[in-house]
Amino acid sequence: MISLPLLLGLLPSFAWLFFYLKEDPHPEPKRLILETFIAGAVSTFIVLGVQMTFNGWAIDRGIVQYGIISFFVLSAIEEIFKFGAARLVIDKHPYDFDEPVDAMIYLIVAALGFAAVENIAAASKSTELLFETTTLRFIGATLLHTLSSGLLGYYWAREIITRRKYLLYVGFALAATLHTGFNYLILNYEPVVVPTTFLMVAALFILYDFEKLKRQ
């Protein structure tokens, strides 16, 4: 029997997955979507180890644990491994990666797998506030992962189209910056409306990018 924390932990990722896949004009093979989702989920455990190693290194050198530098590096680590998870699956099936918007789709799916593991962990720790935790992660952390990875996916697509290699690095920098901005706001502003509004504004721009790639 599926436990309630597991079910509610998966719910935000599945809800956003349904939304984004419905927006894809040429749906990707379900088998690849599942592989990418699982790869993103597995990457969470690797990221945890890398982030713990960085935190230990940073503390030894006097880097503020919840400062901008620390936030940026931790965010960049997540974006790199989410990208790596999607790229690993795509490299095995290159013929299914056949239009620009696929870059955003596959990265978002990997991000939702990543977020699912985080959500399950959060739900397991907050058994008395399960529904509140699920709701907050649906409009907060889970949406953040889709937006930051979607943003990186857009620049990845632009790099493929234009063959300008630097665009992928621009995407990494912007995705990590978006991720950092949300993490900073969520820890420094008590009303969740501030970080949520930040994400809503970012979503408008990234969904616009999504529509641009769909037309190409």
Walking along the chain (216 residues) 10 residues at a time, the average pLDDT comes out as 74 92 85 96 97 91 83 96 96 84 95 94 73 78 95 95 94 97 87 88 93 83
Which residues 6+ apart lie within 8 Å of 79 measured at CB? Answer: 148, 149, 152, 172, 175, 176, 179
Which residues 6+ apart lie within 8 Å of 7 measured at CB? Answer: none
Asked if 118 and 140 count as a contact pair (C-beta separation under 8 A), the reply is no
- pLDDT for the residue 192: 80
Long-range contacts of 47-55 (CB under 8 A, 24+ apart): 47/77, 47/78, 47/81, 47/114, 50/77, 50/81, 51/77, 51/78
